Structure 1
Amino acid sequence: MKNIKNNYHPIRVILHIIVFLGLFLLEQLPLSILTLTKKDLGSSYPIYQKYAPFATILLLIISATIIILVFKHIRKAPAQKFTKQTWFVIGIATVLTLLINVATVPFMRSSNDNVEALKLVANNSIAILIIFTIFVAPILEEIIFRGIFMNWFFVDKPFLAILISGVLFGYVHAPFSADTDWIYALSKILLGIVLAGVYYRTKNIKADITVHFLNNFLAILGGAITTGVILL
């Protein structure tokens, strides 16, 4: 990301918003295939369980390829190399994510829409859920919410870009409504802000992917003991 004034053109901004939303929906689509139940499908459920994972994987490969290609095309500057300072930032950010989880998880509801959707996926393919949670989500979510968002929007206003990136990240995990678990939403907003700060500070998408990976991996371990409400 270059520290230069960004020339905002209304039509370009609108197109960027449309493409950004489209890429987010594309990232969500593969896993949504695995959220159907026997109640939804009846006698077709065994066939669905047999073929849905393959359809999910195929669609995931397609969507990931498109998202990564878009990011490579639009990023403002080549990624900076990993240095000792990069690893220091990753370490500090990982500690912050742990503190956020420790401070918020005890006050969250026992479940929410995001968790319930993940449980549906787990019922149909626990292997895909684990792979998606540990590897796919950190890569694609960071490319979309940090890599693409921060290269397209508020380029010359990094504080605003970091803040809005975090709020958007929180919103997609816990859409704001009268029934929202606001502690859960806050945890995701804070996590998003930390990850955006890592990307801005290191100028390397792999750095915030690493922090996101560690957060989700530790959440998997914690979820084996508790409720798993901090996944994704």
Structure 2
Amino acid sequence: MGLKRIRKFDIPEYRVKFNREPFQVILVIAVMTIAASTVISAVSSLIPGSDWFNRYMSGVHQPNFFLFLSIVVAAPLLEEILFRGVILEGLLKNYSPAKAIIWSAAIFAVAHLNPWQGVGALLLGLVIGWVYWKSNSIIPGMLIHFVNNLIGYIAMINATDTNESLSDSIGDNLIYGVVLLVALGFFILTWRWLNKRWSSPQAEPAL
């Protein structure tokens, strides 16, 4: 049944959507990404560590221009075109938004080839997938991916230990808990603002 539906996909009408958003939307998306990245980092840290993964991360621990270019610039551009612009867009044409977003996020997670990055990719993929569906544009997702990877890159090159978590960096469980609650609150507020804006026919046009 699924194959029959996919065959109906109209390739000639397909295009990657690069609709732009005004500055205030970009700002809200950036704030939401920082909040989401904080919460996702906390969830990812619950997965038991691995010597193999620690050795892998040690290999990319030292900052250099190529590493920055590949993680912070190339990955958001190329991965968003593939996973949202192509895969998610195709799934949205054949399935409900919820199924399409979940499946595209799962594929995005599996593509990272390890559970330590895969869990974060799954959660981030759900957020970006929803943003792509509501905004009808790949640009907001690229911004989320860019900000998230930039935060991860900065944390990685400044960490004293490749296995260091956000909790370890803060060092105080009470402060850590407050940080997570504040981040969760900002995520909910920004998500509701974006949902209202993108659901409203009165939304002002992109610049």
Is TM (by shorter chain) over 0.5? yes
The one-letter amino acid paired with 1:8 is R
Shift in Å, 1:11 = 8.3
- Partner residue, 1:128: 66
Alignment partner of 1:172 is 2:111: yes
Shift in Å, 1:89 = 4.0
Deviations 1:147-174 (A, max 9, x none): 1112212325111111011111110113
The 2-side partners of 1:145 and 1:118 are apart by: 28
Shift in Å, 1:214 = 0.6
The 2-side partners of 1:229 and 1:166 are apart by: 25
The 1-side partners of 2:125 and 2:6 are apart by: 27
**Taking structure 2 as the reference length, what is the TM-score of the superposition?**
0.61
Instruction: Give the counterpart of 2:120 among 181, 187, 192.
Output: 187
Question: Contact 1:166 / 1:189 at 8 angstroms: preserved in 2?
Answer: yes
Q: Specify whether residues 144 and 80 from structure 1 end up closer, same or farther in structure 2 by C-alpha distance, changes over 3 A only.
A: same
Alignment partner of 1:97 is 2:37: yes
**Taking structure 1 as the reference length, what is the TM-score of the superposition?**
0.55
Q: Which has the higher contact order (CA 8 A, sep 6+)?
A: 2
Shift in Å, 1:229 = 7.2
Identity percentage over the alignment?
A: 20
Q: What is the alpha-carbon root mean square deviation over aligned residues?
A: 3.6
- Partner residue, 1:31: none
Q: Specify whether residues 163 and 100 from structure 1 end up closer, same or farther in structure 2 by C-alpha distance, changes over 3 A only.
A: same
Shift in Å, 1:102 = 2.9
Deviations 1:8-48 (A, max 9, x none): 354869xx9xxxxxxxxxxxxxxxxxxxxxxxxxxxxxxxx
Shift in Å, 1:114 = 10
Alignment partner of 1:214 is 2:154: no
4+ residue runs of structure 1 moved beyond 4 angstroms?
110-115, 227-230
The one-letter amino acid paired with 1:199 is Y
The 2-side partners of 1:86 and 1:122 are apart by: 30
Aligned length in residues: 158
Ranges in structure 2 where 5+ consecutive residues have no aligned partner:
165-207
Q: Specify whether residues 152 and 204 from structure 1 end up closer, same or farther in structure 2 by C-alpha distance, changes over 3 A only.
A: same
Shift in Å, 1:203 = 1.6
Instruction: Give the counterpart of 1:198 among 119, 131, 138.
Output: 131
Q: Specify whether residues 194 and 100 from structure 1 end up closer, same or farther in structure 2 by C-alpha distance, changes over 3 A only.
A: same
The 2-side partners of 1:192 and 1:217 are apart by: 16
Q: Specify whether residues 113 and 154 from structure 1 end up closer, same or farther in structure 2 by C-alpha distance, changes over 3 A only.
A: farther
The 2-side partners of 1:130 and 1:217 are apart by: 8
Ranges in structure 1 where 5+ consecutive residues have no aligned partner:
1-6, 17-72, 176-180
- Partner residue, 2:75: 137
